[in-house]
């Protein structure tokens, strides 16, 4: 048997016996342990680690221990076992809501750093107690994984502030072979220019990075934080794919403009996803963003969500005008719903829509704005004149 999936409700006293069972499969290559919400404590995590240490041939490991209570002791014991799995290449570890503090996280990555063949690591630390202490060691430990190329970590809702954010990035810069990085900092307390600039500045040292996803939604980002992101993004010359989720923050017109300036300097971008839902910018910010994005000459796939901002008709026109200048663009998803757009006979969005002659796919939402019925039909007719389109989703 090469693959084994175990999904079970189990008590603390039974976890050691379970471990003895999956140790028996000497040819096991892929192991999936789904043990979420089992009231396991530190001893339970330790016993799982002891059993995993004997699974020397496993190359793909998925463990879901979410909604337990393994804490620092359990995280370390679990990682000590994983660190002895010398053939491990792909690891997904869900430790959501386990009372793990920063020391437990640093011990975790220190031990996993012994996995010299690890290529991909997906770690969920949502709703733990990481804070700011000892977060530097998080990335330093992983930097010992000499083959690691893909890293995904969910730090959401952990009380991380400026110092913790910067220390995490200083550690991750040690992962010199990273090509793909996903970091989620939702619902932390990230603010100010220095926090976001220093954070991204450290990550820019990962010269092999081509795929970057950052999530800062509900993180109190303001204008200065957006400025820090924009100025540091200029240094990412090799990115081909960038995804920024900045929904539900406090970014104003100037912050949006500076963010756009940073993005336009990522000249190798092929795919861009930019979520700016419900911030604090208006038509000027939208106009400036459109002007900056018009310089993204290599962009093929673009997804922009700026719904629930008061950009009005002028802002919507300028966004569309800027995007039409991206000559290589083939796929566009644009959400302008709830943007305070009120129809005006002298200003026609339809004329912008007809400029997308190279598009193969268009997903456009103009819902919850104010248009006359004849205008809605006119916009629909205009999109149907885009003869290269093979996919159209138009909501108005």
* Contact call for residues 222 and 191 (beta carbons, < 8 A): yes
* Cβ-proximal residues to 302 (8 Å cutoff; 6+ apart), any chain: 271, 272, 273, 293, 296, 323, 326, 329, 331, 332, 333
CATH fold of 1-186: 3.80.10
* Residue with tokens 């007719």, as numbered in its chain: 381
Question: How many CB atoms are located within 10 Å of the residue 165 CB?
Answer: 26
pLDDT computed for residue 346 by the predictor: 67
* Residue with tokens 């004329």, as numbered in its chain: 351
Taking the model in full, what pTM does it have? Answer: 0.96
* Intrachain domains 1-186 and 190-396 with the same fold: yes
CA–CA dist 128, 132 (Å, integer): 12
* Cβ-proximal residues to 41 (8 Å cutoff; 6+ apart), any chain: 12, 68, 69, 70, 71, 74
Q: What are the backbone dihedrals phi and psi of residue 362, each rounded to the nearest 5 degrees, phi first?
A: -135, 125
Domain limits, the chain: 1-186, 190-396
Q: Does domain 190-396 have CATH number 1.10.3470.10?
A: no
* CA distances (Å), origin 86, targets 25, 29, 37, 271: 16, 12, 29, 35
Tens of each residue's pLDDT in the chain, 396 residues: 799 999 998 888 788 788 777 777 778 999 999 999 998 999 999 999 999 999 999 999 999 999 999 999 999 999 999 999 999 999 999 999 999 998 899 899 999 999 999 999 999 999 999 888 778 778 788 888 889 999 999 999 999 999 889 989 988 998 889 999 999 999 999 989 999 999 999 999 999 999 999 999 999 999 999 999 999 999 999 999 999 999 999 999 999 999 999 999 999 999 999 999 999 999 999 999 999 999 998 999 999 999 999 999 999 999 999 999 999 999 999 999 999 999 887 677 877 888 888 999 999 999 999 988 888 888 888 888 888 999 999 998
């Amino acid at each position: 048997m090469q693959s084994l999936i175990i999904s079970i409700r189990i008590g603390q006293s039974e976890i050691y016996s379970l471990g003895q069972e999956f140790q028996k499969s000497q040819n096991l290559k892929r192991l999936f342990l789904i043990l979420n919400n089992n009231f396991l404590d530190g001893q339970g995590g330790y016993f799982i680690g002891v059993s995993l240490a004997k699974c020397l041939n496993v190359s793909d490991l998925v463990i879901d221990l979410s909604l337990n209570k393994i804490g620092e002791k359990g995280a370390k014991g679990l990682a000590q076992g994983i660190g002895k799995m010398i053939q491990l290449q792909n690891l997904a570890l869900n430790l959501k809501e386990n009372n793990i503090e920063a020391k437990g996280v640093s011990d975790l990555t220190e031990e996993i750093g012994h996995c010299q063949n690890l290529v991909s690591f997906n770690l969920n630390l949502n709703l733990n107690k990481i804070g700011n202490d000892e977060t530097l060691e998080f990335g330093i430990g992983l930097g010992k994984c000499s083959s690691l190329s893909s890293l995904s970590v969910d730090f959401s809702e952990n009380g991380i502030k400026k110092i913790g954010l910067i220390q995490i990035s200083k550690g991750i810069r040690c992962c010199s072979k990273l090509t793909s990085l996903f970091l989620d900092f939702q619902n932390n307390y990230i603010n100010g220019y220095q926090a976001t600039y220093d954070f991204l500045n450290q990550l820019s040292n990962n010269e092999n990075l081509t795929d970057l996803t950052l999530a800062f939604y509900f993180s109190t980002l303001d204008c200065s934080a957006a400025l820090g992101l924009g100025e540091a993004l200029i240094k990412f010359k090799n990115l081909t794919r960038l995804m920024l989720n900045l929904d539900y923050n406090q970014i104003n017109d100037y912050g949006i403009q500076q963010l756009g300036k940073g993005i336009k300097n990522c000249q190798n971008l092929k795919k861009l996803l930019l979520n700016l839902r419900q911030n604090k910018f208006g038509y000027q910010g939208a106009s400036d963003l459109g002007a900056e994005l018009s310089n993204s000459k290599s962009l093929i796939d673009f997804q922009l969500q700026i719904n629930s901002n008061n950009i009005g008709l002028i802002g919507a026109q300028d966004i569309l005008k800027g995007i039409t200048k991206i000559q290589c663009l083939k796929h566009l998803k644009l959400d302008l719903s709830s943007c305070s757009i009120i129809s005006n006979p002298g200003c026609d969005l339809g004329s912008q829509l007809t400029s997308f002659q190279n598009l193969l796919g268009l997903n456009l939402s103009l819902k919850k704005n104010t248009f006359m019925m004849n205008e809605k039909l006119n916009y629909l007719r205009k999109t149907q004149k885009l003869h290269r389109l093979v996919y159209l989703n138009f909501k108005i």
